[in-house]
Chain A
Amino acid sequence: MTINSFKQRSNPLNLKRTLLGSGDSGNIIALLVFWIFLIAISAVNNAQFISKTTFNAVVFNMCILGILAIGQALVVLSGGILDLSLSVPLILSGCLSVIFYDRGWSTIPLILASIFISGLFGLINAFFIVVMKINPLIVTLGTGFAGSGLLLIIFSRAMVNPKSWIAGFGTSYTFKVPSAWWPMLIFTVIAHIFVKYSRPGRHLVAVGGNPVAAKVSGISLARYRVGTFFAASLISGTAGIVYAAFTPEIRPSAGTLYTLPMIAAVVLAGFSLAGGAGNFLALFISVGFLSTVPTALVFFGLESLWEPFFQGLILIVAVSLDAVRTKKSGNRE
């Protein structure tokens, strides 16, 4: 798989492949069709679905989920299986931003410090994975447990000051779209370019796709793994700032609500849990699709209680279809 994609990328004539990534275009189109289909049946069911309110609801859902999914996707891509502890930096950075604000810090140092400190959590993960050589799934299960336990002990809740810049950011609009949506788009574009076109990005894919081959060709596995888990926590920390912008009252227990949707988004986008394969444009669309589901359910007259049921079902169907597809084409694993 990895070797294949290198070959295709080196062919500049194949513009579609270069833009969309090797063999991922089918996946992206399928996801787009699903998304449009969902919007279409919701609109046929109730014409009011196509409205400014729906648009805003979907965009708000995308803001946090989209950023978190990028962090998770990097971990999956690098062969780190899954990071089950990403809700910890999310909440940590949100709570820290409140604490720093209350101490009178100015906006930029406050945001940077919150993101950086929550990024350090990723270095703890990396230490267990790289130095102690424990499997990432077990490490993040353990640190996720310990981390969210500690967060609940330290912060019972954090109140975001409505006068702060962060709270203002959550209610403001840039180019007619909520401002908080733009960081997510910027992150997606950066991640896509990084993985497709930069040397470290392609090395990361190589580490995930075939660690033995990557090691033999002189890539330091340890360096990329530390980098990935650090980056995932930094990205999740950034999502924490966006979270603080929307949430007047941050409760540590709310963080785990995001763990499944972000994994669902990554799997639905066609990232292989074995590592080394995935496309960030597909991730963007799968985040959009998953963010539309809750609003669509409301328009179908189902209470929001049904939302997790459908989220889970979509994930099961998606991984099953993905498994059948890869078995048929035989180009993964």
Chain B
Amino acid sequence: MASTQKNRKKFTEGPSITIVICIVLISLVSLQGVGLSTFSTDNLYLILNYLALPLLIGMFASFSLLSGVVDLSIGSMVGLSAATFAVLSTYKLNLWLCAIIAVLVCLSFGALNAVAIVGFKANPIAVTLGMLVALRGLARIVNMFDNSEVLSSNDGTVVFIDGLNTFTESSISFLPWLFVIALVFTMILQLVISKSRYGRHIKAVGGDLTAAIRAGLPASRIKFTSLLFSAGGAGIAGVLYVGKMGSSSSSLGTGMEFTVYAALMIGGYSILRGGVGNPIGGFLGLLVIAYFSNYIDNMGFDTRFTDVFLGALLLAIVYLDIRRGGDAYE
């Protein structure tokens, strides 16, 4: 009994309740503007389809947020992985091999991040911001090596991979397969973070590094692996994006890191200190953004309004968190 009470308290204390209110508000506004079709399965499919890959990326990246490092380079890694995969596939290599190489490339740059951040103790924001720009540049360079017969545009490789496209676009009625996979992953992650020893270790390292080291936790190793997780997740998502879109545009993933982190912060994570936030909250945060952007699309408004909304909502949620006793900037 006591534990359910504790859980209920946890739920209302976090940002989850605010997010649920947000979702209700958006659906009311959407109902007024778009009409009943906003609740149709077709529309739900659109929302979830849009949400699936950012959710996957966000969940992998939440490892590094929890352990107290922020990896801003994930958006560029999505682009780089997509470019590597698409370009390699134009050389008629085995597709699995292409995908593995693309993910490995991302992992090696993730390891580079980790060496600078964990090994040299450099500032994570500065390091991964550097990586963001470096890999964005590298993705464009990789895209120049494409070997396809299809006339490619100047800044992207066009490859339509039948099997992969079928997989990424398949769905069970209105639930896209990718979304189901991402959601199951979120649930598993929720269990790992809240119940397992590894999850508690990550939170401890992110929450209070000194205490964690004194308690004998392998803090460096935990941080190192968490950075590999975020890079690997971005790598996998990059390959899947190629399947979805049939090309690797150089602008793929641009600004994605900010959208994903803003959504995670709305869901209760923090980019400034580790150890806080939970995967379900992160999922709800992303759901708000996806739902709002769907509303904007349906109404035919300028898509930039999503950014304006995202910025405003981020500030509002963080402010509410401070009012509830979160970290204030003194």
By a beta-carbon cutoff of 8 Å, the part of chain A in contact with chain B is 81-82, 128-129, 132-139, 141-150, 152-153, 211, 221, 260, 263-264, 267, 273, 305-316, 319-324, 327
Contacts and interface: CB of A to CB of B under 8 A. Distances in A.
B126 interface: yes
Size bracket, chain B contacts: 35 or more
Given A129-B329, A134-B318, A311-B134, A305 B141 contact: yes
Given A142-B311, A309-B141, A323-B121, A136 B329 contact: yes
B329 to A, nearest CB: 5
Given A147-B311, A153-B304, A311-B133, 5 more contacts: A133-B322, A138-B318, A221-B330, A273-B125, A327-B121
A79 to B, nearest CB: 10
**Most A-side CB within 10 Å, residue of B123, B258, B261, B328:** B123
Contacts of B181: none
Given A138-B265, A142-B311, A211-B330, A315 B272 contact: no
B66 interface: no
A20 B306 CA distance: 47
A276 to B, nearest CB: 15
A306 B262 contact: no
Given A136-B329, A311-B133, A311-B134, A320 B127 contact: yes
Interface in B235-282: 258, 261-262, 265, 271-272
B149 interface: no
Contacts of A322: 122
A325 to B, nearest CB: 10
B307 A148 contact: yes
Query: Which of A135, A150, A310, A324 has the most C-beta atoms of chain B within 10 angstroms of its own C-beta?
Result: A135
A132 B121 contact: no
Given A134-B322, A323-B120, A323-B122, A313 B134 contact: yes
Contacts of B304: 149-150, 152-153
Nearest to B327: A135
Nearest to A150: B308
A324 B310 CA distance: 37
B299 to A, nearest CB: 14
Nearest to B116: A320
Nearest to B315: A142
A311 B135 CA distance: 10
A315 B125 CA distance: 11
A319 B116 contact: yes
B308 A145 contact: yes
B70 to A, nearest CB: 9
Given A132-B322, A138-B272, A145 B311 contact: yes
B312 to A, nearest CB: 6
A174 to B, nearest CB: 33
A217 B330 CA distance: 16
Interface string B109-143: 00010001000111101110111111111101100
B141 A312 contact: no
Contacts of A263: 126, 129
B109 to A, nearest CB: 10
Contacts of B126: 263, 267, 273, 315, 319
Contact of A153 (B302, B315, B318): B302
Contacts of B314: 138, 141-142, 145
A272 to B, nearest CB: 9
Contact of B258 (A136, A143, A145, A309): A145
Contact of A315 (B133, B136, B140, B144): B133
B198 interface: no
B91 interface: no
A148 B315 CA distance: 15
A205 B97 CA distance: 54
B319 interface: yes
Contacts of A221: 330
Most buried by A among B137, B302, B311, B312: B311
A316 B130 contact: yes
Contacts of B11: none
23 contacts: A133-B328, A134-B319, A134-B328, A135-B272, A135-B327, A142-B311, A145-B308, A146-B312, A153-B304, A273-B123, A308-B134, A310-B134, A311-B130, A312-B131, A312-B133, A312-B135, A315-B129, A319-B127, A320-B122, A322-B122, A323-B123, A324-B120, A327-B121
Given A138-B272, A142-B311, A319-B123, A153 B129 contact: no
Q: Interface centre among A132, A136, A221, by most B CB within 10 Å?
A: A132
Given A138-B315, A142-B315, A308 B137 contact: yes
